[in-house]
């Protein structure tokens, strides 16, 4: 079963921006950001997907041959000696923040050296990361990562599960980012809006279908 998404308006995110994507469970946040990544890669951007829930092989199937780099935080938990390849960096677990950071930096450098002038990163998800590490460690990790992304002019989207964290945690995380994409479902319809210090869009409907 393949999922497709139709966003009812064009989303334009500037280079160098880090955005939190937050909404309730099962609202389609992961499919939302995957479609953003697919569209950007099809336009010529480099793509990096950090998965703390699924294996690299599962992510590859969802991207249907679209060329992306993957940081896999899952496979080595079950199969410690599983190997990397050109497009996959496997770290020991979601608690290996150093390994994740090194993998992202490596792939960013490869894209930059290859002449890519745009790279999009998806982090799925920060909520899973916080299950393994404390808030202070994640905050320090994100401070370094978001700075790196701003400097090299990439774009990054970080998924957070609404209702899974206390208000203090969410407020602390929001301080790191350049804005928030809120996702919700209402009357069996799905919507998103973007909130940054400069703007707050109206709610925009998007569709998740099956092809």
pLDDT value for 206: 87
Task: Give the residue ranges of DSSP H helices in the chain.
Answer: 29-42, 56-62, 75-78, 97-113, 126-132, 135-152, 167-174
Query: Per the confidence metrics, is the pTM higher than 0.95?
Result: no
CATH number at residue 159: 3.40.50.300
- pLDDT tens digit string along 126-177? 999 999 999 999 999 999 999 999 999 999 999 999 999 999 999 999 999 9
84, 85, 88, 90 alpha-carbon torsion, rounded to 10°:
0
Per the structure, the count of domains in the chain is 1
Residues of the domain holding 38: 3-210
Residue 29 backbone phi and psi in degrees, to 5: -60, -40
């Amino acid at each position: 079963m393949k999922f497709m998404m139709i966003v009812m308006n064009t989303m334009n995110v500037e280079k160098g921006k880090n955005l939190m994507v937050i909404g309730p469970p099962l609202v389609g946040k992961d499919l939302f950001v995957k479609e953003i990544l697919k569209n950007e890669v099809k336009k010529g951007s480099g793509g990096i997907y950090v998965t703390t829930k699924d294996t690299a092989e599962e992510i590859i199937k969802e991207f249907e041959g679209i060329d992306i780099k993957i940081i896999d935080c899952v496979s080595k938990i079950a199969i410690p000696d599983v190997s990397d390849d050109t497009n996959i960096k496997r770290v020991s677990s979601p608690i290996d923040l150093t390994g994740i950071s090194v993998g992202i930096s490596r792939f960013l450098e490869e894209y930059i050296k290859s002449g890519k002038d745009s790279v999009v990163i998806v982090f799925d998800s920060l909520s899973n990361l916080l299950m393994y590490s404390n808030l202070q460690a994640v905050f320090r990790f994100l401070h370094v990562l978001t700075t790196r992304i701003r400097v090299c002019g990439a774009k990054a989207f970080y998924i957070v599960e609404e209702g899974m964290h206390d208000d203090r945690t969410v407020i602390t995380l929001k301080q790191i980012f350049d804005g928030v994409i809120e996702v919700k479902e209402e009357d069996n319809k799905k919507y998103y809006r973007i909130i940054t210090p400069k703007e707050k869009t109206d709610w925009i409907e998007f569709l998740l279908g099956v092809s």
